[in-house]
Structure 1
Amino acid sequence: MKKWSEAFQVASVYVGTIVGAGFATGREIVEFFTRFGFLGTIAIFLAGILFIVMGSKIMLVAIEIKAKSFEQLNEYLFGRRLALIMNIFLMVMLTGVCAVMLSGSEALFTEQLGLPSRTGLIFTIILTLFVMASGVKGLFAVNALVVPMMVIFNFLVMLSVLKLGSGSIPLLLFSDVDRGGEAVLSAFSYAAFNLALAQAVLVPMAAEIKDRTAVKLGGVIGGLLLTVILLSSHVSLGTLPDPAGYEIPMAVIVKKAAGALYYLYILIIYGEIFTSLIGNLYGLERQIRGYVPIHSFWIHICIFLVVYLVSLVKYGTLLELLYPLFGYISIGFLILLLIRPIKAR
């Protein structure tokens, strides 16, 4: 019974780490899957298999080599010299993702709540600094609350869309066969990007639990949940004539199909943005602190100055530029993780 309890905790944190602004708002799913139509559905299953297999392997390798941080895991995968480059790259990715989260919060407040520009951004920065000053002990608890709500809401929205009979979901029935290779590459880059970032949380969590069965089961459950959320969102997004034309397409779907749930869903989206921002900021701060021994508050301020400048770019543009780029580069991480044995040297 204890193993199942630990497994569900692992799964919750795993899903919560990956389900961020782009995922929850639907923009990320459109960019990597829905724009490919039926081929996008196949790509989701491929990405789901990678999440199940490789998420578990990250944690199993971490236990075997007794890694307590993603630096040690990267050193095992890449060697000492290349690991330094990968760690710097991961810090850049974390900064970019923080910028996407911050830009996403602004888009949420402006596009969906009709508030003045920069309101969401300023509010989120202040709230994040306040929470980080008091620690991040509530991060796992928030994930345990938000993730089940995300799963339930996605299903409710999908059922509402199908009940309304929004056509035959034409976007999901047809595909350009010539884009099959692009869809497969998109699935690999999406999984690689998210797994490369998730290691910052999965590695220390596995080191703390130390139970191979629990982390392996947690990886499987988490991967399955991610696949289910992806598929349900993909089906809903396929009902929009031009899903790429919206900054937050899932919110548009919810407003049309389940208006009564709209503001609660907006709250859930913000919860995902906020928890992802805190998690990435924490990982970035812990990494920088190893090189610059100053108080965490000043590190957070410096990070936010950089992140703020990057977040000035439009949210949708950031997703289109940064996520695919990070995904393609992260494929190297995924390939080495695939070929490396689960055995300490």
Structure 2
Amino acid sequence: MKKWSEAFQVASVYVGTIVGAGFATGREIVEFFTRFGFYGTAAIFLAGILFIVLGSKIMLVAIDLEAKSFEQLNEYLFGHRLALVMNLFIMVMLTGVCAVMLAGAEALFMEQLRLPPRTGLMVTVILTLIVMTAGVKGLFAVNTFVVPLMVIFNFLVMLLVLKTESRIFVPIHVSGWEEGGKAVLSAFSYAAFNLALAQAVLVPMAAEIKDRSAVTLGGVIGGLLLTVILLASHISLGTLPDPAGYEIPMAVIVKGLAGTFHFLYLLIIYGEIFTSVIGNLYGLERQIRGYIMVNSFWIHIGLLVVVYLISHVKYGTLLEFLYPLFGYISIGFLLLLLIKPTKAR
């Protein structure tokens, strides 16, 4: 029972780290999968296999290397010099994603709940500090609560949508091997980018647990849950005439359902924002602790100050440059992870 309990906690943190606000709004799913119609469905299963196999492998290698942070994993994969570049990119991207998530929480509280400015930001910062003081146990607690809600919500929405709409993907016309090839590449890109960032959390978490069977099972459960959530959202979004034409396509679907779903949807969005923030901060803190011996609380304070300042800068231009570049590097990370064996003790 202990192994299954630990495995589910690992799976919850894995899923909570991968998904974010872009996932909850549906925009991310449309961009990577739904715009390819039925090819997108096949691409989801491919991405799911990569999440199952490579998510588990990241954690197993972390245990074998006795890695305290993602720096050691990247050094094993890339070698010392290239690892320095990869580690720098990961730290920049983790900080950037945290800033975007914090800005998203602020917008959610202001626009949807009509609360005063800074309310969402302050609530998120305070909750983050409380959770971070508990370390990996705090990560487990939050994600074990939020992730089941995500799964239930996405299934309920899919079932309600299918009751009222019998046609799926009919308006999306994609054909030919070229579109199929793009869908496959999209699946690899999606898995590569997310796994490269998720290693910041998966590596120190696995090294702390040290149970190979628990993390392997957790990786399998987490990968399956990600596949299920992606598939449910993909099917729901496929009923829209033009899913790519909406900024927040999932909101369009939820709006047509029962009014009570709207508040639940907001809760899910905030939950996904919050799990991304705490997961990324946990990974950054573990990395920084390798260089400076300061109490974790003050590292979290410093990181939140930096993230807060970045969230007020026009970060979009920087991300437009970094995301594609990081995407290419992530493909390299994915290929090396597939090729490299787990290190023997």
| TM-score bucket (shorter structure) | 0.7 to 0.9
The alignment status of 1:174 with 2:206, answered yes or no, reads no
Q: Could you say which residue in structure 2 is the equivalent of 1:138? A: 138
- Please give the alpha-carbon distance, in whole angstroms, between the structure 1 residues aligned to 2:287 and 2:321: 25
Alpha-carbon separation, structure 1, partners of 2:256 and 2:23? 19
Percent identity for Structure 1 against Structure 2: 81
Distance 1:195 1:25 in 2: 20
Q: 304-313 or 135-144, which moves further after superposition?
A: 304-313
Q: Are 1:44 and 2:40 matched, yes or no?
A: no
State the partner residue of 2:216: 216
1:153-177 Cα shifts (integer Å, max 9, x gaps) = 1000000001112644425x63243
> For residues 145 and 225 of structure 1, what CA distance do their matches in structure 2 show?
14
Q: Structure 2 matches for 1:69-218, cutoff 5 A?
A: 69-114=69-114, 120-121=120-121, 123-125=123-125, 127-129=127-129, 131-132=131-132, 137-165=137-165, 167-171=167-171, 174-177=173-176, 178-218=178-218
CA distance in 1, matches of 2:114, 2:314: 17
Q: CA separation in 2, counterparts of 1:132 and 1:217?
A: 25
Which residue does 1:334 correspond to in 2?
334
Q: Which amino acid aligns with 1:105?
A: A
Q: Residues 309 and 85 of structure 1: is their aligned pair in 2 closer, same or farther, counting only changes over 3 Å? A: same
Which aligned pairs between 1:208-287 and structure 2 lie closer than 5 A? 208-287=208-287
The answer to which of 1-10 and 71-80 deviates more is: 1-10
| Partner in structure 1 of residue 65 of structure 2 | 65
Q: CA RMSD in A?
A: 2.9
Question: Separation in 2 of the partners of 1:318 and 1:249?
Answer: 25
| Structure 1 contact 21–100 (Cα < 8 Å) conserved | no
Q: Which moved more, 1:52-61 or 1:197-206?
A: 197-206
Bigger shift: 133-142 or 40-49?
A: 133-142
1:250-291 C-alpha deviation (Å, 9 max, x unpaired): 233222124322202211220121121122122223323443
Q: Which moved more, 1:317-326 or 1:184-193?
A: 317-326
Specify every segment of 5 or more residues in structure 2 that has no aligned partner in the other structure, as ranges.
Answer: none
The code of the aligned residue for 2:157 comes to V
CA distance in 2, matches of 1:239, 1:315: 33
TM-score by length of 2: 0.87
Closer, same or farther: CA 221–315 of 1 in aligned 2, 3 Å? farther
The CA distance in 2 between the partners of 1:319 and 1:93, in whole Å, is 8
Cα 1:262/1:202, change in 2 over 3 Å: same
2-side partners of 1:286 and 1:140: how far apart? 16
State whether structure 2 residue 12 is matched by structure 1 residue 26.
no
Cα displacement string for residues 74-93 of structure 1 (whole angstroms, at most 9, x for unaligned residues): 11111122222211111011
CA distance in 1, matches of 2:297, 2:342: 38
How far is 1:67 from its partner? Answer: 2.2
Q: Distance in 1 between matches of 2:315 and 2:107?
A: 7
Mapped to 1, the partners of 2:191 and 2:182 lie a distance apart of: 14
Please state how far the C-alpha of 1:55 moved relative to its aligned partner.
0.7
- The amino acid that maps onto 2:333 is F
Q: Conserved in 2, the CA contact under 8 Å of 1:192 and 1:334?
A: yes
